[in-house]
Chains A and B, each alone.
Chain A
Amino acid sequence: AQSVAQPEDQVNVAEGNPLTVKCTYSVSGNPYLFWYVQYPNRGLQFLLKYITGDNLVKGSYGFEAEFNKSQTSFHLKKPSALVSDSALYFCAVRDGGVSQGNLIFGKGTKLSVKP
């Protein structure tokens, strides 16, 4: 069965510093991986996805993610954090087949960026 793990419940960084939010996955077949962000009382916003190709995927708001097949990881990164990046971040994997809609999410990581 597909699964996603986000080992950190919370990540704290200072504004201007680089940030990393970790994600590891377990899939059978090709991994289709996604990152989403959720602000308080809002739905999820799509940041980026990995399907195939380059291991470094660039997304919205300056975020990028590095796919590492040998370590089964898909960590989210940003070179310089902003206070406005503070939110809940979810890693997800698509559960195979032709269905587009069945995403399996990690538990989420709360990112706190302090001025």
Chain B
Amino acid sequence: EIVLTQSPDTLSLSPGERATLSCRASQPIASNYLAWYQQKPGQAPRLLIYDTSKRATDIPDRFSGSGSGTDFTLTISRLEPEDFALYHCQSYGGSPPNTFGQGAKLEIK
């Protein structure tokens, strides 16, 4: 069973800075089936990135995903105030079909 570990647990940055969030898998993820979600307090998660690097509909291009094998990254090139939120990575298509990381909080410094 794949275990996803996100780091850091909390990242403190200022608007305009670049954010890099990591997601490490305990074993290689087949076909790079990895997604990223953003979740704001009291809201449902929103799909940002799927298949490691494909942006979901209406997601700004400041969000990008990369990686392969066991190491994956979500990068936000220039933080906007609305980007401060909780971020989840998810692997899919394996066994079990879906696994999530523990979540990482991006907070304003």
**Do A and B make up one complex?**
no
Q: Write the residues of chain A forming the contact surface with B, with a CB cutoff of 8 angstroms.
A: none
Q: Write the residues of chain B forming the contact surface with A, with a CB cutoff of 8 angstroms.
A: none
